[in-house]
């Protein structure tokens, strides 16, 4: 009889562990909101209107390449949560993408809960997620097999690669105001192929997020938005909302998430080697870092 009870007990424990594992929350980088016939230019205006009606602020938009557009959006909740954590400004905006794939336009957006955990923010942005779903729809999460909130908060792609709290310090200035002035001037000049898409100011702290477009040709192609995505965004459902890249002015310093973190957090399942792999874009992180640093008045080798 005791052997039977031991067997039943072991089975119950195994069942309990399996149930707990099944209940564990797993998040993916992007949400596919809708897909249907049309042109990006037409769907873009309707999407902006839906976002505004839902209480979001459209901070800016751009077309990184033909057949694609990205909208940067923010809200009171996003800015409020961003103000509560160190360098939370990286999460002060979410990105909504529209991509023409064959005869359909895919509308997608960065998953608020995924990004909140990846950027170690002081909240899960559940209200923001609900409002985005109500405004744009929700078919499925996509972009990876998924990561738990705990793994996201300590994520790095591989041994020796950067974490969220190891950004590049692109430049330092005497004050927050001087740093902002330098960044705005550099983006307006666009000499390094880096230009402004949007700006979001975080309330209650000296922190400002810039979404930036990156264009390069020839020897500078490795920092180019189109080049980067042509190599890694190869699946049927497009991860265009990975773009644009970010610059954060926090106090008197100018930061960017190092590309080996910033790209990997959007594409955590991308293989290290082979076709459509990180090996194909191995020159991109340094090219992007240098272009961003020079744009904001820093040195090419700024770390």
163-176 pLDDT, tens digit per residue, is 999 999 999 999 99
- Mean pLDDT to the nearest integer, 154-171: 94
**pLDDT, tens only, 91-126:** 999 999 999 999 999 999 999 999 999 999 999 999
Domain 25-295 adopts which CATH fold? TATA-Binding Protein (3.30.310)
Query: What letter would DSSP give residue 91?
Result: G
Per-residue model confidence (pLDDT) at position 1? 47
Helix axes 176-189, 284-295, angle to 10 degrees: 110
> How many other CB atoms are found less than 10 A from the CB of residue 303?
12
Question: Does residue 71 surpass a pLDDT of 50?
Answer: yes
Q: Report pTM.
A: 0.90
If pLDDT is split at 50, 70 and 90, which confidence band does 32 have?
A: very high
- Mean pLDDT to the nearest integer, 31-50: 97
Whole-number mean pLDDT of the chain?
92
Per-residue model confidence (pLDDT) at position 19? 45
If pLDDT is split at 50, 70 and 90, which confidence band does 133 have?
A: very high
Per-residue model confidence (pLDDT) at position 43? 97
- Mean pLDDT to the nearest integer, 256-275: 93
- Mean pLDDT to the nearest integer, 219-225: 93
* Neighbouring residues of 27: CB distance < 8 A, sequence distance ≥ 6: 111, 113, 114, 117, 141, 146, 147, 148, 149, 152
**Residue of 54, 187, 171 whose CA lies nearest to 109:** 54
In degrees, rounded to 5, the angle at the alpha carbon of residue 111 between the alpha carbons of residues 105 and 112 is 135
Q: Which helix (H) or strand (E) holds 179?
A: helix 176-189
Question: Does residue 302 surpass a pLDDT of 90?
Answer: no
Query: Taking a C-beta distance cutoff of 8 angstroms, is the pair 224, 214 a contact?
Result: yes
**What's phi and psi for 65, nearest 5 deg?**
-170, 170
**Residue of 302, 294, 120, 82 whose CA lies nearest to 207:** 82
Per-residue model confidence (pLDDT) at position 273? 84
What percent of the chain is modeled with pLDDT above 90? 85
Q: Residue ranges per domain, the chain?
A: 25-295
Per-residue model confidence (pLDDT) at position 28? 98
């Amino acid at each position: 009889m005791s052997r039977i009870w031991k067997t039943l007990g072991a089975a119950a424990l195994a069942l309990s562990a399996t149930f707990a594992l099944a209940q564990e929350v797993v998040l993916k980088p992007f949400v596919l909101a809708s897909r249907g016939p049309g042109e990006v230019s037409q769907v873009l205006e309707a999407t902006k209107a839906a976002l505004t009606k839902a209480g979001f602020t459209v901070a800016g938009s751009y077309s990184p390449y033909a057949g694609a557009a990205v909208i940067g959006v923010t809200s009171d909740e996003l800015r409020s949560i961003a103000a509560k954590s160190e360098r939370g400004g990286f999460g002060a905006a979410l990105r909504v993408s529209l991509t023409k794939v064959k005869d359909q336009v895919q509308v997608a957006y960065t998953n608020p809960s995924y990004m909140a955990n990846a950027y170690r923010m002081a909240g899960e942005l559940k209200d923001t997620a609900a409002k985005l779903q109500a405004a744009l729809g929700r078919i499925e999460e996509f972009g990876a097999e998924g990561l738990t909130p705990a793994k996201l908060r300590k994520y790095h792609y591989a041994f020796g690669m950067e974490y969220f709290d190891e950004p590049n310090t692109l430049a330092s200035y005497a004050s927050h105001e001087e740093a902002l002035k330098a960044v705005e001037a550099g983006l307006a000049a666009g000499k390094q192929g880096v230009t402004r898409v949007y700006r979001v100011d975080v309330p209650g702290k000296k922190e400002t997020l810039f979404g930036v477009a990156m264009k390069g040709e020839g020897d500078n192609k490795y920092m180019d938005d189109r080049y980067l995505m042509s190599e890694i965004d190869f699946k049927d459902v497009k991860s265009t909302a990975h773009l644009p890249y970010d610059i954060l002015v926090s106090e008197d310093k100018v930061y960017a998430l190092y590309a080996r973190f910033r790209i990997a957090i959007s594409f955590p399942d991308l293989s290290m080697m082979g076709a459509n792999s990180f090996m194909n874009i191995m020159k991109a992180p340094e090219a992007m870092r240098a272009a961003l640093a020079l744009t904001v008045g820093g040195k090419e080798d700024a770390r």
